[in-house]
Amino acid sequence: MHGTIDHAGDSHLRAASDKAWSVPLAEIDVSQPELFRTDSFWPYFDRLRREDPVHYCKDSMFGPYWSVTKYNDIMDIETNHAVFSSAASLGGITIRDVAPDLRRESFIAMDQPRHSAQRKTVAPMFTPTHLDQLAINIRKRSAECLDNLPVNEVFDWVDKVSIELTTQMLAVLFDFPWEDRRKLTRWSDVATTLPGPDGLVATEEDRQVELLECATYFAKLWKERINQPPKSDLLSMMAHSDATRDMDPKNFLGNLILLIVGGNDTTRNTLSGSVYALNKNPDQYKKLRENPDLIDSFVPEVIRWQTPLAHMRRTALEDFEFRGRQIKKGDKVVMWYVSGNRDDEIIDRPYDFIIDRARPRTHLSFGFGIHRCVGIRLAELQLKIIWEEILKRFDNIEVVGEPKRVYSSFVKGYETLPVRIAG
């Protein structure tokens, strides 16, 4: 068997691996959500990195697309925004094209110079001084959540901790009505789900109905904030900035969804991933328990290991030759962070989870270039504080069954993760 991941003892993954290395290259389609739901996509990327690092798939449920799978190649695409666009009008930043009448601009799905102007509006949220203030709040809320967890009883870590804490954080960032905060979770999930019988919403129309509710709810808050003196929440920041004050309704909803999804799914799935990764690697859990100072390198290592967003997508603005392949104007180019983060030419033993790596921030989970995640410091801070509080309280959070994974090749995460804390 080829590949670097150890699938010993897991027959469905072994079969998937054999298939990945034997199927004709031209038939490889790494975008299938089912591969992510079953965690069986890894060997396909191993093979692409080795045999066809810039790979063309001519037919998929998302139409034809290029896959860029090696670390340095992804950075090259990310930094070439003259050729590779993020614009919503061309289809946006995920492999799934949004229907033209439903396209909404947000600053992640925008090119220069408007991108930078809108991004700057929310930057004060993430300054070190503001994060110091948020840290007090995060610690208090984490402590409360952890103190209320059941002991000696199986419960779902995703719902009780990951969703709850990241949703609380979002509510703080928006100064959102506290009792309604789970609406933020719902809107975030609805915004990223694939409509269908197994999805959170059955049809695209159903999704739009819920997102309209989101827009209506926030429009009310916006009206309040715009008539009040500026405050330090994201809505007030946008309401009082020249770059965003007069956004059209689609741009408004686009930025809201960006900030809700950006700050929600990602940190949530890293927090679930952290518990899972430590259980899969008990020697690393032991190391962390014995030396909590390792949290500083453990956090970026989990973010790399989990890679909560599997990809970002660009659209070629002109014909472009890249690594000997002819990308045509209008082609979809998908940068697979999940693959770049397992590129052994850049990362030593990339499949191993090592909480004291020398350079743990060498990873692509936050992207690269002008769109590199604006919430990095907040995400790392949140995870650091939560783990400091966990280690103070619990000797072991035991994963007692396999997680249920999200059906998506964009959001890479967990729907459920059963755990037990010993009393």
What sign does the dihedral 363-17-413-292 (CA atoms) show?
Answer: negative
- Closest approach of ligand HEM to the CB of residue 365, in Å: 4
Q: Does 40 bind ligand HEM (CB under 6 A)?
A: no
Q: Of the listed pieces 32-40, 140-148, 190-198, 371-379, which binds ligand HEM according to CB under 6 A?
A: 371-379
Q: Of the listed pieces 139-147, 258-266, 325-333, 413-421, which binds ligand HEM according to CB under 6 A?
A: 258-266
- Closest approach of ligand HEM to the CB of residue 369, in Å: 6
With respect to ligand HEM, which residue has the nearer C-beta, 119 or 160?
119
- Closest approach of ligand HEM to the CB of residue 321, in Å: 23
With helix as H, strand as E and coil as C, how does the chain read?
A: CCCCCCCCCCHHHHHHHHHHHHCCHHHCCCCCHHHHHCCCCHHHHHHHHHHCCEEEECCCCCCCEEEECCHHHHHHHHHCCCCEECCHHHCCCCCCCCCHHHCCCCHHHCCCCHHHHHHHHHHHHHCHHHHHHHHHHHHHHHHHHHHCCCCCCEEEHHHHHHHHHHHHHHHHHHCCCHHHCHHHHHHHHHHHCCCCCCCCCCCHHHHHHHHHHHHHHHHHHHHHHHCCCCCCCHHHHHHCCCCCCCCCHHHHHHHHHHHHHHCCHHHHHHHHHHHHHHHHCHHHHHHHHHCHHHHHHHHHHHHHHHCCECEEEEEECCCEEECCEEECCCCEEEEEHHHHCCCCCCCCCCCCCCCCCCCCCCCCCCCCHHHCCCCHHHHHHHHHHHHHHHHHHCCCEEECCCCEECCCCCECCEEECEEEECC
Q: Does 379 bind ligand HEM (CB under 6 A)?
A: yes
Among 259, 278, 333, 386, binds ligand HEM (CB under 6 A): 259
What is the footprint of ligand HEM within residues 309-368 (CB under 6 A)? Answer: 309, 312, 365-368
- Closest approach of ligand HEM to the CB of residue 127, in Å: 13
Q: Does 195 bind ligand HEM (CB under 6 A)?
A: no
Q: Does 275 bind ligand HEM (CB under 6 A)?
A: no
Burial 206-229 (b: 16+ CB within 10 A, else e): ebbebbeebbebbeebbeebeeee
Among 303, 310, 399, 421, binds ligand HEM (CB under 6 A): 303
With respect to ligand HEM, which residue has the nearer C-beta, 13 or 158?
158
CB neighbours of residue 83 within 10 Å: 17
Q: Does 375 bind ligand HEM (CB under 6 A)?
A: yes
Q: Identify the CA nearest to 214 among candidates 188, 238, 234, 240.
A: 188
With respect to ligand HEM, which residue has the nearer C-beta, 165 or 303?
303
- Closest approach of ligand HEM to the CB of residue 269, in Å: 8
Pairing of strands 404-405, 397-399: unpaired
With respect to ligand HEM, which residue has the nearer C-beta, 15 or 82?
82
With respect to ligand HEM, which residue has the nearer C-beta, 274 or 284?
274
Q: Of the listed pieces 135-143, 145-153, 243-251, 255-263, which binds ligand HEM according to CB under 6 A?
A: 255-263
- Closest approach of ligand HEM to the CB of residue 78, in Å: 5
- Closest approach of ligand HEM to the CB of residue 74, in Å: 9
Q: Does 308 bind ligand HEM (CB under 6 A)?
A: yes
With respect to ligand HEM, which residue has the nearer C-beta, 258 or 278?
258
Instruction: Name 404's bridge partners.
Output: 416
- Closest approach of ligand HEM to the CB of residue 264, in Å: 8
Question: What is the C-alpha separation between 74 and 312, in angstroms, rounded?
Answer: 10
What is the footprint of ligand HEM within residues 162-191 (CB under 6 A)? Answer: 173
Among 108, 237, 256, 406, binds ligand HEM (CB under 6 A): 108
Q: Does 119 bind ligand HEM (CB under 6 A)?
A: yes
Q: With contacts defined by CB under 6 A, how many residues of the chain interact with ligand HEM?
A: 28
Binding to ligand HEM by CB under 6 A, coded x per residue (else -) over 66-105, reads ------------x---------------------------
Q: Which residues bind ligand HEM (CB under 6 A)?
A: 78, 107-108, 119, 173, 258-259, 262-263, 266-267, 270, 303, 308-309, 312, 365-369, 371-375, 378-379
